Amino acid sequence: MKVKRAILEKLASSYKNSSKKGKGELRKELIATTDYNRSYASWLLSNSRLEVVLLNSEGKRVIFIGEIWKIRLKALVWLWQLLDYSWGKRWVAKLEA
């Protein structure tokens, strides 16, 4: 699994800046080496490294960089801390305000 992730990281860095033809070649290379499905491989290549920028309560930027599930988890924990570790019922009232 670590080998597949390393191959994905190597190809994903050049995938975003490639032309349509270049993206197809990179996708074919990933499919050949990892045996991933075509649509899953293209999703992985386009979503392997994301950057999410949020503002905290003081107005400072908080940047989350990484894989999409790690970003979601970090952003959720950050929001949970920002709302003083409250639970779901109290989130609704704070988020609607």
- Rounded CA-CA distance 36/38 in Å is 6
For residue range 8-37, list pLDDT tens digits in order: 888 887 887 889 999 999 999 999 998 999
Which sequence spans correspond to the domains of the chain? 2-47, 50-96
Question: What pLDDT sits at residue 49?
Answer: 65
Q: Which helix (H) or strand (E) holds 64?
A: strand 61-66
Is 93's pLDDT higher than 70? no
Task: Please answer whether residues 88 and 95 qualify as being in contact, where contact means their C-beta atoms are separated by less than 8 angstroms.
Answer: no
Burial (CB < 10 A; 0-12, 13-18, 19+), residue 18, is middle
Is 94's pLDDT higher than 60? yes
- Rounded CA-CA distance 61/41 in Å is 32
For residue range 40-91, list pLDDT tens digits in order: 888 888 877 666 676 767 777 776 666 666 667 777 778 777 777 766 666 6
Question: What pLDDT sits at residue 61?
Answer: 74
Residue 7 structure tokens: 């191959």
Residue 29 structure tokens: 């290379």
